[in-house]
Amino acid sequence: MNNIYGSTREELENYFLTNDEKKFKALQVFEWLYQKKEKNIDHFTNLKKELREKMKLNFSFSMPKIIRIEKDTLTRKYLFELEDKNYIESVIMFHDYGISICVSSQVGCNMGCRFCESGRLKKVRNLETYEIVSQLLLIEDDLKMRISSVVIMGIGEPLDNYENIIKFIKIINDAKGLAIGIRHITLSTSGLVPKIYDLMQEELGINLAISLHAPNDEIRNQIMKVNEVYNISQLLDSVRDYIAHTNRRVTIEYVMLKGINDNKTCAIELAEKLKGMNIYVNLIPYNETNHLEFKKSDVKTISEFCKTLKELSINVTIRKEFGSKISAACGQLRSKEVGL
């Protein structure tokens, strides 16, 4: 049985047409689900009772459960229990421009990035589209506030769950869905090159972020298993093609690991690799966890690295830190969860 929250408006239109109904009923359903936030189909009063009963047989309306919320000054972390008793986490951040959410895309992760806590649990399964959409709906319901931007950057590699992620983006971007602007949706990938080309052809207009984290293959091979399959040269070629095709700037994410990738030589080599590309570099102060050996670069080192990139004409920012006190920061999800 399909879950209603995993269906795009186009899929619902096809459902109604094949059931001898007008396709505009899909629009009505979307308005109930995402604008009126109505969870009970019996309250969809502009649909005939007979049709509502039929939909109950064809669609599930179930959602994951929020089982814990941890709070920091500008951050909240939500732990969800899925129907199969697996767990995922989402994080929201309060900004002066609105509320952003970092959603998970998988239970566990197979990318095996050595510095990332989320990948210690191997991939159990992909999240279904409805399980990703539900993260937004349930948190908005808890906050009684609207989420204005989305980053697909939580547990899992989004491009390893490609079809569900594309459907998720279409549902939340739909004007009658959650109506989140396409420029306010960011997908982060560790570098699945063929999927970057697939994404390019979707013509979605979302923001793409590449988790690079090293200036050369020697260092990246040590910290990111994916580089053994798609090396930096292949990855950056795909990024150049993506930029040329979409005319969109790409973010290069670079986590600062003490004594690993944070010296001036690394900065110079990184600048050489990125020279002439329509990118900007986001330097990420490492968020230490209770299981992994990597340490955070000190403030002076990060500042010098940033300065070197600027001197070499690379657009660069240092990411503001959110949520480290509740293990909700980048790379920390699941770092304290017993048995997960």
Is 140 a residue of the active site? no
* pLDDT of residue 331 exceeding 50: no
* pLDDT of residue 313 exceeding 90: yes
What are the respective helix, strand and coil percentages of the chain, to the nearest 5?
40, 20, 40
When pLDDT is averaged across residues 116-139 and rounded to a whole number, the result is 92
- Look at residues 2, 5, 296 and name the one whose alpha carbon lies nearest to residue 174: 5
Residue 163: the pLDDT is 98
When pLDDT is averaged across residues 24-42 and rounded to a whole number, the result is 97
- Look at residues 331, 265, 338 and name the one whose alpha carbon lies nearest to residue 295: 331
Residues 6+ apart with CB under 8 A from 38: 32, 44
13 and 96 in a single domain? The answer is no
Catalytically annotated residue among 13, 89, 253, 288: 89
Would you say residue 120 lies in a domain? yes
**What is the DSSP secondary structure assignment for residue 131, as one 8-state letter?**
H
Is 330 a residue of the active site? yes
Residue 93 forms beta bridges with which residues?
75, 100
Would you say residue 303 lies in a domain? yes
Residue linked to tokens 């929250």: 5
75 and 51 in a single domain? The answer is no
Would you say residue 336 lies in a domain? no
Domain holding 322: CATH number?
Answer: 3.20.20.70
100 and 249 in a single domain? The answer is yes
Catalytically annotated residue among 140, 202, 330, 337: 330
Domain of residue 7 covers: 2-60
Residue 291: the pLDDT is 62
Q: What percent of the chain has pLDDT over 90?
A: 88
56-96 per-position pLDDT tens digit: 999 999 999 999 999 988 899 999 999 999 999 999 999 99
163 and 29 in a single domain? The answer is no
**What is the DSSP secondary structure assignment for residue 99, as one 8-state letter?**
E
CB hemisphere CA count around 22 (13 angstroms)? 7
Average pLDDT of the chain is 93
273-309 per-position pLDDT tens digit: 999 999 999 999 998 877 678 999 999 999 999 999 9
Would you say residue 207 lies in a domain? yes
Which of the listed residues 45, 60, 75 is the one where a domain comes to its end? 60
Q: What percent of the chain has pLDDT over 70?
A: 93
157 and 83 in a single domain? The answer is yes
Tokens of 114: 């050595």
> For the chain, how many structural domains are there in total?
2
When pLDDT is averaged across residues 210-236 and rounded to a whole number, the result is 97
Would you say residue 159 lies in a domain? yes
42 and 72 in a single domain? The answer is no
